[in-house]
């Protein structure tokens, strides 16, 4: 089915481990985004990408790495997880020509770092 999917949906890891959250969209949208959502902070942008091989930092990029070798995939890696990275992570996409500018969100990945 068309859409945007994230995996894993739930992940528990330990401090210092590397974790990769996957995001895949089937619409061929140009823009893709990673947000984290925490109580009291709302949605904060981590990284975004305007096209394959083009990425840029958002508001809270420290401790995260992204890549975008293919238009449809936008993985987010926590190179050495910390407890402060416990959060719900949302991947989103939108098309270049999207009239409304609407973001389409994945279902979220809930990450717990012990």
Q: Which is nearer to other proteins, 32 or 113 (CB)?
A: 32
Pairing assessment for the beta strands 76-78 and 19-25 based on DSSP bridges: antiparallel
* 38 burial via Cβ count (<10 Å: 0-12, 13-18, 19+): middle
CA separation for the pair 1, 33 (Å, rounded):
21
Cα(87)–Cα(96) distance, integer angstroms: 28
- Residue 103 within binding range of other proteins, rule CB under 8 A: yes
Residue of 21, 31, 68, 81 interacting with other proteins (CB under 8 A)? 31
* Nearer residue to other proteins within complex by CB, 43 or 52: 43
24 binds other proteins (CB under 8 A): no
Residue 97 interacts with other proteins (CB under 8 A): yes or no: no
Q: Which is nearer to other proteins, 74 or 90 (CB)?
A: 90
Of 41, 83, 84, 114, the one binding other proteins by CB under 8 A: 41
Q: Which stretch binds other proteins (CB under 8 A): 19-27, 39-47, 62-70, 75-83?
A: 39-47
Residue 20: count of CB within 10 angstroms of its CB: 14
Contacts of 97 (CB under 8 A, 6+ apart): none
Q: Give 30-42 as a DSSP string.
A: SEEEEEEEETTTE
Which chain residues interact with other proteins by CB under 8 A? Answer: 30-31, 33, 35, 40-45, 48, 50, 56, 58, 90, 94, 96, 98, 100-103, 105-108
């Amino acid at each position: 089915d068309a859409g945007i999917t994230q995996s894993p949906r739930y992940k528990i890891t330990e401090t210092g481990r590397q974790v990769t959250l996957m995001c895949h969209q089937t619409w061929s949208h140009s823009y893709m985004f990673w947000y984290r959502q925490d109580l009291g902070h709302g949605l904060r942008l981590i990284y975004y990408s305007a096209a394959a091989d083009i990425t840029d930092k958002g508001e809270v990029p420290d401790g995260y790495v992204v890549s975008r070798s293919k238009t449809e995939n936008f993985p987010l890696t926590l190179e050495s997880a910390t407890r402060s990275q416990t959060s719900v992570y949302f991947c989103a996409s939108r098309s270049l020509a999207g009239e409304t500018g609407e973001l389409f969100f994945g279902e979220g990945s809930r990450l717990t770092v012990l």
